[in-house]
A and B are shown apart, each in its own frame.
Chain A
């Protein structure tokens, strides 16, 4: 098999040569000097670019402080944004209005902090200091959860979450209830039809005759959670089911016979998706964060070599 190359060669015939023009300046002539100069220039540009990239890359900066930082301490950057924030926190001034002394003090403080942090790493302070350990745990959790916090879930995902957790997105119920207490001896007298009982407790004279009194456990309208605390679980469970104007059956409790008189009961109402959206988003994110933390922990456990003492296995 043979391969043929066809190269078109154009000859420029110089008829009236201009002797005054130096060969290296004439692009139509071959010039060894020009070739060397161009090659040297290419090498130089290449070296400059390579050097620039090498010495200014974020991970390998050795000579220049990157524009976003104010200092490099053993190659660790001290952020300009943190510097400005500290200047503002300590002196309440921005960079323009800070004095030279203020600037130097803040920078000195930050460099000192960085030096101590680096020394702390060398000494492995995290092995012994519970505050450092706790801060590290928080920081790693944050790093793991960052995707969930930063990403914006779709409306469809939020709506699905809302629909599968609808019990969370309801208003707090409100009730206004009278809790009347009677001596245990009056139980038989109170065991009547609800209408008759209602008439009896609404009449002050009958109430007095039966030695009934308002326990005072609830006053005004109360949210369900407050009514539950004030009435106790048993009475609240009975009260929750009563409609406006209804009375409960007499309930025998250790302190007497209780009758609940429901004046107003506004039951919990589910929020619409639009009304609950902010809360749904927050819950959705929290759930995603928990999931990520859990999978992050599983990953760490999987790759770790954990040996447990015999007596604790």
Chain B
């Protein structure tokens, strides 16, 4: 009889834990994702469950710590520089849901970096014309100067003209080259580089041969709860104090 009572109690305990988890999962899904960082309990719950999901699905590219790999153009998720959006949980969740250039109709895929050394820099946009080799060099000098590095003055001035002129770079990266996170165009004026070390060679590869990184869409391959937990985990690694302080 005592064994039966212990068994019942244990079952009730398991059921209670399951019910509590289920309740928390439901609260997590029903909450406004951007409001969740202010709820340390739910955030902790999501981060605890999101971590193994990240390790299973995202770490293969972004690395177990989420720091990415500039040699392959994989963004660092632990800093506060966001290529898409501003790092709000809802924006992170949208990237996980629909991906980037994932072929999902709802993916972020408005812009690609054209390959200016190819006859058709962007097959989807016939208006973008190739640049000449020296024009690419000029744009590189302009970007080097913009980042406060040593650059050839005359070439940089010509590059500035190309950037805001027929090169069409301003169209995505904006006139001040600070980028546009609404379309995933990186800020070219800071020291954070998506591809390589930001040196002339890496810039040449980007401008001459283009870039179009892909992040897969998980909306049909993971539950809504998993995606939200994953989004909050990514939020937590980019906001190290979030769990302790709740923000």
Residues of A that sit less than 8 Å from B by CB: 27-28, 67-68, 79-81, 84-85, 88, 94-96, 138-139, 142-143, 145-146, 149-150, 152, 171-172, 174, 220-223, 225-226, 274-275, 277-279, 281-282, 285, 289
Contacts and interface: CB of A to CB of B under 8 A. Distances in A.
A80 B31 CA distance: 10
B241 interface: no
B212 A282 contact: yes
B215 to A, nearest CB: 10
Interface in B61-77: 61, 71-73
Interface in B109-135: 117-119, 130, 132-134
Given A67-B30, A146-B220, A84 B90 contact: yes
B213 A94 contact: no
Contacts of A84: 32-33, 90
Given A81-B94, A150-B218, A152-B61, A223 B103 contact: no
A223 B133 contact: yes
A84 to B, nearest CB: 6
Nearest to A141: B103
A281 B118 CA distance: 19
Interface of B: 1, 5, 25-26, 28-30, 32-35, 60-61, 71-73, 88, 90, 93-94, 97, 99, 102-106, 117-119, 130, 132-134, 195, 205, 208-209, 211-214, 216-221, 223-225, 227
A138 B217 CA distance: 15
Contact of B73 (A85, A152, A221, A278): A278
Contacts of B221: 146, 150
B132 A226 contact: yes
Contacts of A88: 90
A142 B34 contact: no
A278 B211 contact: yes
A138 B106 CA distance: 13
B227 to A, nearest CB: 8
Contact of A149 (B71, B134, B195, B216): B216
Contacts of B5: 27
A188 B93 CA distance: 74
A85 B94 contact: yes
Contacts of B208: 171-172
B25 A223 contact: no
A289 B101 CA distance: 14
11 contacts: A28-B1, A68-B29, A68-B224, A81-B97, A88-B90, A94-B35, A95-B34, A95-B35, A138-B105, A171-B209, A277-B72
